Amino acid sequence: MKVLMIIPAYNEELNIENTVKKIIKYNKESTNKIDYVIINDGSTDGTKQICEKNNYNVINLIHNLGIGGAVQTGYKYALENNYDVAMQFDGDGQHDENYIDSLVKEIDNGANFVIGSRFIEDLSEFKSSSTRRMGIKILSMLIKICTGKKIYDPTSGFRAADKKVIRLFANHYPTEYPEPESTTELIKRGLKVKEIPVKMHKREFGESSIKPLKSVYYMFSVCLSIIITSISAGGRK
Amino acid sequence: MNINLKLSLIILLILQLVLIINRVKRKKMTMKYASFWILLIIIMSIVVIFPGIVFKLSNIAGFEEASNMIFLLGFFFLFYVSFIITTSISIQNEKIKTLIQEVSLLKESVEKNGKKD
């Protein structure tokens, strides 16, 4: 199976080398080789220079698009280059390369989409702040109400998609609140979404992209986007 | 209606009309939107010249004061205009996003092929 790792990176000059090293290390230890592509989302720091210096496989977006637009570029790249599996892997060091195989295996077993979850089993030392955890619980509950399926970690950015989902995401991927909304859409379309436990780390350097002041509006918007998606995608099964 | 008020309102409307035509001439506004604003100016001119229409209409609609109707209509109109604008901004954002993605992907593949040669 041809596996592509999509690494969105916005101003990650301190983390990006470690992230790529993780994948190189994975490729050395594993029998299954995976490719990666860094989507440099118009970074204003040295991310671009570091990628070019090390000759990384990178796509430099000519303007900043935000996380949704950057990840979608990765799915477009996966579609163009005919990959069987596309995975999202954050460039900030949160995700653990030891779980790549478990995600790919689930796709192999027939799942269309696999989410690496922090909250299924107690593997993770990093669970983010209690307010954010509560936000995630609310989203999780709302998705359960709208789709009938429980997703424990709807905001996880560690996800794997099969060919069908790659095609879908390349065509349409939400820009603003991508993770919960896209997951809802997949479930509503009747695709097989699976969630497996993974370990996540604290960000190695730098600040996370969600600012606390905006979080109330964020919650309101995400909740609405889940409800609207579940209504509009319902008829298109 | 006071003749001075009438005259100054008409002058204002003419100035606005000149402004719009100028914009179109300098390609700063497309005809699609210009026609919309010009239509509005025509309606406003009719109202300024024959204010009786407004009083009659507000009477029929049941407003106590004609000015209440004008304010309400103006509010609805502005609300609708900004609604249209947010819609068109969203559509444009989507188009720009696709453009940036496709250009970036193309650029990358061109540069990669260039290195091989």
Test B108 with A63 for CB contact under 8 angstroms.
no
Per-residue confidence (pLDDT) for residue B101, from 0 to 100: 96
Q: Which two tokens stand for residue B75?
A: 């509010």
- Give the residue among A6, A166, A148, A146 at the shortest CA–CA distance from A74: A6
Q: A68-122, pLDDT tens digit by residue?
A: 999 999 999 999 999 999 999 987 778 888 899 999 999 999 999 999 998 877 6
Rg from Cα positions in chain A: 17
A61 half-sphere exposure, CB direction, 13 A CA radius: 33
Sheet holding A159-161, edge to edge: A58-60, A34-40, A3-9, A85-88, A159-161, A113-117, A193-197
A179 half-sphere exposure, CB direction, 13 A CA radius: 23
Number of neighbours of residue A35 by Cβ within 10 angstroms: 15
Q: A170-210, pLDDT tens digit by residue?
A: 999 988 778 999 999 999 999 999 999 988 887 655 555 55
Return the CATH superfamily for domain A3-234. Spore Coat Polysaccharide Biosynthesis Protein SpsA; Chain A (3.90.550.10)
d(CA A226, CA A184): 6
Per-residue confidence (pLDDT) for residue B92, from 0 to 100: 95
d(CA B99, CA B97): 5
Test B104 with A69 for CB contact under 8 angstroms.
no
pTM equals 0.84
| Local confidence band at B89 (pLDDT 50, 70, 90 cut-offs) | very high
| % of residues, chain A, pLDDT over 90 | 57
Per-residue confidence (pLDDT) for residue B116, from 0 to 100: 57
**B46-80 in b/e burial notation, b at 16+ Cβ within 10 A?**
eebeeeeebeeebeeeebeebeebeeeeeeeeeee
pLDDT average, residue stretch A49-53: 92
- Give the residue among B1, B115, B69 at the shortest CA–CA distance from A58: B115
Q: B12-40, pLDDT tens digit by residue?
A: 999 999 999 999 999 999 898 899 999 99
Q: What is the ipTM of this complex?
A: 0.84
Residues of chain A found within 8 Å of residue B107, distances taken between Cβ atoms:
60, 62
Q: B94-115, pLDDT tens digit by residue?
A: 999 999 999 999 999 998 887 6
d(CA A118, CA B116): 42
Cβ burial of B82 (10 Å; 0-12, 13-18, 19+) is exposed
- The partner residue sitting opposite B105, judged by closest CB among A65, A69, A77, is A77
Residues of chain B found within 8 Å of residue A62, distances taken between Cβ atoms:
100, 103-104, 107
| % of residues, chain A, pLDDT over 70 | 90
Region at A124 (left for phi over 0; alpha for psi -120 to 50; beta for the rest):
beta
Picking from A34-48, A147-161, A209-223, B3-17, which range would have the lowest pLDDT averaged per residue?
A209-223
Which DSSP symbol is given to A97?
G
List all residues 6 or more positions away from A124 whose beta carbon is below 8 Å from its beta carbon: A118, A198, A199, A200
Domain boundaries in chain A? 3-234
| Local confidence band at A233 (pLDDT 50, 70, 90 cut-offs) | low
Q: How far is B99 from chain A (nearest CA, A)?
A: 10
- Give the residue among A129, A127, A150 at the shortest CA–CA distance from A140: A150
Number of neighbours of residue A169 by Cβ within 10 angstroms: 25
